[in-house]
Amino acid sequence: MASSTSEETPLLQDVQKLHEQVYQRFSPARKNAILVMVSLTGLMPPFVSGTFTPLIPQVSKDLNASAALVSLAVSIAIFATSIGSMIGSCYSTLYGRRPIYLLGIPMLIIASFGVAASRTIHQLLFWRFFQAMGSSPGLTIGSAVIGDIYKLEERGAAMGIFFGALLLGLTLAPVAGGVVAHYSSWRTMQQAVGVWGIGVFVYMYYAFPETFHPGQRGVDKMDPGAHPKWRPVILNPLKPLWMLRSPNLLFVSTAAFTGILADYVLQIPIAYTIGVKYGITNEALIGACFIPAGVGNVLGAIYAGRLSDKMVIKWRAKRNGVWYAEDRLRVTIPGALYYVPLSNLMSGIFVTYVDGPVGLTLNLFCLFLNGFGVDVVLGPSAAYFVDSMHSRSAEAMAAYSGFRQVLTALTVSLIIPMVEKYGVLATDTSSALLAWIGWLLLWITIQHGDRLRAVVDVGFSTAADN
């Protein structure tokens, strides 16, 4: 028995050593450069979405369409992002990360100029669909790249920086959109997104390496005789959603949806809630109202990312080296229980009952608190998906974001009509109640994660292959 143990121990050490070497392919400086590149592409989805939100009144007037109809452009963009994420993730697992970026960004560029040239609401919606689809790899593939190059104990911090940069876009985008619309037009902003896409494409083409683990792409494992390289492979883009038959992944995705919906409930109708209540009509000032939420996003992402790594290390040590992926989710509880729902509830009360500068200040604080709380939920939740399904991290992220975005696309178009019919307080209270349901799902996952994983095993990763 002792002989068997002594033979197995060096073998296990060799396996662990080889696994560590996978994450040593790139130097720390090179990893930082790659993180910058994926963060730049991660800024694209929030810019596509965020630059449009403060422009809804101007677009509505320019295209002679109702605000509710123009807000469909937000829903369509969210839906297209979810579809594009799932398509991109499937093919990134097959061909690698780099080709997906180099195909998606040109679509964004062309569609951005198409949006800028739109003369009818139908043209606008058509081009918005492809603009969002082209930007979609920014989140799912970016998260997968981080999983490719950072080991488990470093992944949360890197993911926090990535999400912080991504959500910085949610801060800058409305401000940029509002300023450009006020001093020029909403069309100029869309042209600027296209020009920015050209710059990012050139940068990625010359500087971005393939990060997929060597020999692990689907195409590397294919039999050349069975499927010639010249023939494209047809994949089912909805396949990643099948992962959500796991209660763990379904619960965390649903909790993320309730968090991001709470964020949208405060931000989408901001021109018609805070803007109308406090007499703000200048598009640039409307855009500036998004700044507190964005600052909260950035701080929340960085804080939660680093703390989630420490939580993983702490709880693994408590169990004498046994790792549970759900330990990372412990960081999300304050955000899901307090920051997100209470900020929505308080904002509804303040908009309804508190006038003047005091009311405006309190609402801006609620936006900050909401932004901080949402990212305390989203960042560790995304890292949990990468940890749990490391070998299929891009597909896992597509399931996580695709499911959330489809639900968001179906509900976000109802926000302005609900505000108009039932009022701000009822709308914000409803979103707070949904956020508390999200907290309950996270708590159940943390407390019973191992049992839930045993219900449906979708190929969960272990400490040895993470």
Could you tell me the pLDDT band of residue 291, with boundaries at 50, 70 and 90? confident
Instruction: Encode burial over 437-463: b for 16+ CB neighbours within 10 A, e otherwise.
Output: ebbebbbebbebbeebbeeeebebbee
CB neighbourhood size of 76 (10 A): 19
Burial group, residue 206, by CB count within 10 angstroms (0-12, 13-18, 19+): exposed
User: DSSP characters for 173-237?
Assistant: HHHHHHHHHHHS-HHHHHHHHHHHHHHHHHHHHHHPPP-SPTT-SHHHHS-TTTS-TTSPPP--T
186 versus 231: the higher-pLDDT residue is 186
The token pair at 156 is 């949360």
> Do 277 and 354 form a contact (C-beta atoms < 8 A)?
no
Straight-line distance from the first to the last Cα atom of the chain, in angstroms, rounded to the nearest whole number: 29
358 versus 216: the higher-pLDDT residue is 358
Lowest model confidence (mean pLDDT) among 151-155, 231-235, 248-252: 231-235
The token pair at 125 is 């919606």
The reported pLDDT for the residue numbered 16 is 55
> Do 83 and 140 form a contact (C-beta atoms < 8 A)?
no
> Do 84 and 240 form a contact (C-beta atoms < 8 A)?
no
The reported pLDDT for the residue numbered 464 is 67
Residues 6+ apart with CB under 8 A from 359: 277, 278, 350, 351
Q: Say whether pLDDT at 178 is over 80.
A: no
Could you tell me the pLDDT band of residue 2, with boundaries at 50, 70 and 90? very low
Could you tell me the pLDDT band of residue 169, with boundaries at 50, 70 and 90? confident
Distance CA 31, CA 51 (A): 30
Q: Which residue has the tokens 């930007």?
A: 135
- Delimit the domains of the chain by residue range: 27-210+237-465
Distance CA 76, CA 130 (A): 10
Q: Say whether pLDDT at 85 is over 50.
A: yes
**CA-to-CA dists, residue 374 to 298, 299, 381, angstroms:** 10, 11, 11
> Is residue 290 classed as helix, strand or coil in its secondary structure?
coil
The mean pLDDT of 308-320, rounded to a whole number, is 90
Measure the CA angle with vertex 41, ends 40 and 43; round to 5°. 70
Task: Give the predicted TM-score (pTM) of the model.
Answer: 0.76
Distance CA 425, CA 250 (A): 29
Q: Say whether pLDDT at 258 is over 60.
A: yes
Q: Say whether pLDDT at 242 is over 60.
A: yes
Q: What is the pLDDT of residues 397-448, one digit of tens each?
A: 878 887 887 788 778 778 888 998 999 999 999 999 999 999 999 999 999 9
User: Torsion over CA of 418, 424, 430 and 436, rounded to 10 degrees?
Assistant: 140
The token pair at 188 is 């100029």
The mean pLDDT of 275-285, rounded to a whole number, is 85
User: DSSP characters for 310-376?
Assistant: HHHHHHHHHTTT---GGGGGGGGHHIIIIIHHHHHHHHHHHHHH--HHHHHHHHHHHHHHHHHHHHH
Could you tell me the pLDDT band of residue 229, with boundaries at 50, 70 and 90? low
The mean pLDDT of 232-249, rounded to a whole number, is 85
The reported pLDDT for the residue numbered 209 is 93
Could you tell me the pLDDT band of residue 53, with boundaries at 50, 70 and 90? confident
Highest mean pLDDT among 15-29, 61-75, 106-120: 106-120
Q: Say whether pLDDT at 224 is over 80.
A: no
Q: Say whether pLDDT at 249 is over 80.
A: yes
The mean pLDDT of 183-206, rounded to a whole number, is 90
Could you tell me the pLDDT band of residue 70, with boundaries at 50, 70 and 90? confident
Distance CA 252, CA 72 (A): 27
Q: Say whether pLDDT at 3 is over 50.
A: no
Q: Say whether pLDDT at 6 is over 50.
A: no
Instruction: Round the average pLDDT of the chain to a whole number and report it.
Output: 85
The token pair at 339 is 């920051």
CB neighbourhood size of 325 (10 A): 26
> Do 134 and 102 form a contact (C-beta atoms < 8 A)?
no
> Do 268 and 344 form a contact (C-beta atoms < 8 A)?
no
Burial group, residue 374, by CB count within 10 angstroms (0-12, 13-18, 19+): buried
The reported pLDDT for the residue numbered 7 is 46
**Percent of the chain clearing pLDDT 70 (strictly above):** 93
User: DSSP characters for 397-411?
Assistant: HHHHHHHHHHHHHHH
Domain 27-210+237-465 has CATH 1.20.1250.20: yes
Q: Say whether pLDDT at 14 is over 70.
A: no
